[in-house]
Structure 1
Amino acid sequence: MSAPLAESLSVVLLLAVLACTVVRPWGRSEAVFAVPAAGLVIAAGAVPLEHARAEAGRLGPVIGFLAAVLVLARLCDDEGLFRACGAWMARTAAGRPHRLLAQVFALASLITAVLSLDATIVLLTPVVFATVARLGARPGPHIHACAHLSNTASLLLPVSNLTNLLAFDATGLDFTRFAALMALPWLVAIGTEYVVFRRYFAADLAAGAQAPPAAAPAEVPVFALATVAGTLAGFVVTSAFGVEPAWAALAGAAVLAVRALARRRTTPGALLRAASVPFLAFVLALGVLVRAVVDNGLAGGLGRLVPDGTGLWALLALAALAALLANLVNNLPAVLVLLPLTAPAGPGAVLAVLLGVNIGPNLTYTGSLATLLWRRIVHEHDETVALGEFTRLGLLTVPAALVLSVTALWASLALIGP
């Protein structure tokens, strides 16, 4: 196949798969469209089979981690972790929507950082809906907070987001150093979002809410919390010894799975469904499609736009480019495309890309898979999310959060060192 034809085929198939991911024709899984498309680019010779195998090998540990953490989050839900969070919010925020918003910000940030953004979207968002309904508060600020923080709050740890996992090796950092460099940008980005939310939703937050009927405090799932803490410690230990974090996530999921199976709270089939095998296949197929696009010329074109150096202006330009690309083609393809171009410049450049692909998707529905999934969950709860309001809120939060968090990253690099 000629190079122009291979490039055209790769780009058309990638865009078609992304469009199907947004629209989900006939309610089908993303994998139904992505897997055949990946097979087609391999069969047509747009990407050599050895390149596809190399991409699969590179993504294997990432996909393994994703499966383990999805199971871990679901088992934590089965243990009552998210119900306990909802009961705590309802009990302590009664009649005070401002406090409820602060609690949603705190919980969503913590859950996203430790259990990944999927847990915030799939497990915390329904709990927030139930809590808001119980208090009679207006849902807008609290539900939008779940969407925004599933992206913004995923900056802290290598395990907080699939984009971070994809970029972790390219940074050359260990787990603790990654977290140390991203801690200040994480806090600054979340703080910026909170200030904007307080002002943007001032009328909704001033409307008041009612106190819920008195109820006994929900039981704190100590075993689940201890397992999550042990898993987090495992990430640090495995990183120190050069072991993939997937093994720590697998150990944590296995501990809770054995307990749940022994108590008959789950089944092997339920654990398999929790791992979301079709979504894992989609991630793998998407990686192959992006590799085809990169191999056939996109890397050269984007390479001319990537700034040199890791000074403040270069980091700002990198983050802006990453945010723009994430909103055009989704953040997963964006990070896969940009990593080979920025990794030679050092960890600062890669971390700036992560700021762009994690904060930037709050601007449009298509920026991240998490936002698309959030929109589906919102519709399932008979709530309407106006595109105009989502975009206006994104225009107020994304540029400010990007500029301030990139500046914080630049300061962290200067103080801590790359």
Structure 2
Amino acid sequence: MAGIVSAALLLAVLAFAVVRPRGLPEAAVAVPAAMLVVAAGVVPFEAARARTADLLPVVGFLAAILVLAQLCADEGLFTAAGNLVARVCGGRTGPLLGGVFAVAALITAVLSLDATVVLLTPVVLATAARVGARPRPYVYACAHLANSASLLLPVSNLTNLLAFTASGLSFTRFAALMTLPWLGAIAVEYVIFRRAFAADLAAGAHPPEPEPQQQPRSEPEPRSKPDADPEPWPEREETGVPVFTLVVLALTLAGFVLTSFAGAEPLWAALAGASVLAVRALGQRRTTARRLVRAANPLFCLFVLALGIVVEAVVDHGLGSGIGTLLPDGSSLPDLLAIAAVAAVLANLINNLPAILALLPVVAAAGPGPLLAALIGVNLGPNLTYVGSLATLLWRRILHVHGMEPELGHFTRLGLVAVPATLAVSTVALWGSLRLIGV
């Protein structure tokens, strides 16, 4: 009975997160569900407290990286990237697709998949409109690369952070082992996109329109209410490269490496980078404390903590033993392929975040190889269905806001080709990395 109740609660939490009726936050159902399983004794209070303590550094990092990404957008980093791609492509759709792939892969790797979905997708839409290209290949690339390009670093995806914490690997060793799988997934996606969107790419484009010039002002415009928080806060009008922001990002990335060697959480490096940009933006009166808190999305962070407790209940009452029976316990290539496939299926059944939480107790005990194979599965698998990743669901909302609706049939057909191919190539690349680098 405890297993049935736990599974029902998990499905209710995920269904609510997918639909979000009346725009209510995901935590509106997840928090009561977590309280219920603890109050009913399905998850002992001490176990729930331990799970929350384990997740707090991960959730804290998520909040810090969301703020960092939003501040980068406010500084014009994403707009500058879009302008650069538009200039380089010169109205040619092939280079434009390659530029979008490169920018999306780098932003996903460094600033996480949420930055690609929420902040880059609107810029890509605007860039495609500016050069007269059909937007579908480029916005679909944002969705796919938000998942596929999140393999590289522990900070690229919340699933990575959870796996990294349990892996015992250093930041650099994790990145070294996942470099070939990351490159393999991106390369396969690019080849598939060139064929799947051949008609859209053949339609062509035109040379980019001139970038809007900022009109000089003798003095800043006064604000009637200095403490007001206008929404949304506009991006900076400058179209040049925000050098200061890029320097802060580079130092933050270096900080991730240093904190790993020091045995500290990557949270502190992300918090330092976000703090530098936040203090600068506050000092220049281009943001407010309220906007920064909103960027951290505290309700979504609370949802992740509550979801961890609900998943704990499901794992402890049936799912954990079922996964343990189903997964192989070796590190051979067939074993890694089987683990990645099972993880991908599980991600599409219950979403990738609950999937990695359910898989970790089993694959972490088997060693870094099986753990990273499971990570490949839960990161690449969501490109098959909308429900596989919260980021993909968010991508759909972003397109809807901007007047473009993705086609379910096209998304699914694209995923049926891309997911098996990227899973196979990335897992073989992981097997090769394990043989070359070791753990």
TM superposition score category, shorter chain reference: over 0.9
* 1:162-177 to 2 correspondences below 5 Å: 162-177=158-173
- Per the alignment, residue 408 of structure 2 pairs with 387
Q: Of 66, 72, 77, which aligns to 1:70? A: 66
Deviation at 1:213, TM superposition (A): 2.5
The answer to whether structure 1 residue 225 and structure 2 residue 270 are counterparts is no
SS at match of 2:241: coil
- Per the alignment, residue 323 of structure 1 pairs with 344
SS at match of 1:273: helix
The answer to whether structure 1 residue 378 and structure 2 residue 399 are counterparts is yes
- Per the alignment, residue 287 of structure 2 pairs with 266
Deviations 1:281-308 (A, max 9, x none): 1101110100011111211111100102
Q: Is the 8 A contact 1:6 1:45 kept in 2?
A: no
- Per the alignment, residue 118 of structure 2 pairs with 122
- Per the alignment, residue 161 of structure 1 pairs with 157
Q: Which amino acid aligns with 1:186?
A: W
Q: Which amino acid aligns with 1:125?
A: T
The answer to whether structure 1 residue 95 and structure 2 residue 98 are counterparts is no
Q: Of 312, 336, 352, which aligns to 2:373? A: 352
- Per the alignment, residue 80 of structure 2 pairs with 84
The answer to whether structure 1 residue 110 and structure 2 residue 106 are counterparts is yes
- Per the alignment, residue 182 of structure 1 pairs with 178
The answer to whether structure 1 residue 313 and structure 2 residue 309 are counterparts is no
CA distance in 2, matches of 1:112, 1:330: 19
CA distance in 1, matches of 2:149, 2:170: 20
The answer to whether structure 1 residue 243 and structure 2 residue 264 are counterparts is yes
Deviation at 1:214, TM superposition (A): 2.5
Deviations 1:63-111 (A, max 9, x none): 0000000000001111110111111122222321111110010000000
CA distance in 2, matches of 1:283, 1:68: 15
- Per the alignment, residue 430 of structure 2 pairs with 409
- Per the alignment, residue 223 of structure 2 pairs with none
Q: Which range moved further: 255-264 or 94-103?
A: 94-103
Q: Which amino acid aligns with 1:76?
A: C
The answer to whether structure 1 residue 57 and structure 2 residue 53 are counterparts is yes
Q: Is the 8 A contact 1:9 1:46 kept in 2?
A: no
- Per the alignment, residue 397 of structure 1 pairs with 418
CA distance in 2, matches of 1:343, 1:308: 10
CA distance in 1, matches of 2:162, 2:208: 43
- Per the alignment, residue 46 of structure 1 pairs with 42
- Per the alignment, residue 20 of structure 1 pairs with 16
Deviation at 1:13, TM superposition (A): 0.5
Deviation at 1:36, TM superposition (A): 1.0
Q: Which amino acid aligns with 2:314?
A: V
- Per the alignment, residue 193 of structure 2 pairs with 197
Deviation at 1:42, TM superposition (A): 1.1
Q: Which range moved further: 297-306 or 58-67?
A: 297-306
Deviation at 1:234, TM superposition (A): 0.2
Q: Is the 8 A contact 2:396 2:405 kept in 1?
A: no
- Per the alignment, residue 321 of structure 2 pairs with 300
Q: Of 188, 207, 223, which aligns to 1:211? A: 207
- CA-atom RMSD, angstroms? 0.9
Q: Of 281, 288, 311, which aligns to 2:309? A: 288
CA distance in 2, matches of 1:399, 1:233: 34
Deviation at 1:212, TM superposition (A): 2.6
Structure 2 residue runs without a partner (length 5+): 214-237
CA distance in 2, matches of 1:250, 1:214: 37
CA distance in 1, matches of 2:291, 2:18: 26
Q: Which amino acid aligns with 1:385?
A: P
Deviation at 1:45, TM superposition (A): 1.3
Q: Is the 8 A contact 1:73 1:115 kept in 2?
A: yes
CA distance in 1, matches of 2:74, 2:209: 24
Structure 1 residue runs without a partner (length 5+): none
Q: Is the 8 A contact 2:113 2:150 kept in 1?
A: yes
Q: Runs of at least 4 residues of structure 1 off by over 6 A?
A: none
**What TM-score do the two structures reach when normalised by structure 1?**
0.98
CA distance in 2, matches of 1:50, 1:167: 22
Q: Is the 8 A contact 1:170 1:347 kept in 2?
A: no
CA distance in 2, matches of 1:384, 1:75: 28
SS at match of 2:46: helix
SS at match of 2:344: helix
SS at match of 2:326: coil
Deviations 1:24-83 (A, max 9, x none): 112211111111111111111111111110000000000000000000000111111011
- Aligned-pair identity in percent equals 67
CA distance in 1, matches of 2:208, 2:255: 39
Q: Is the 8 A contact 2:131 2:209 kept in 1?
A: no
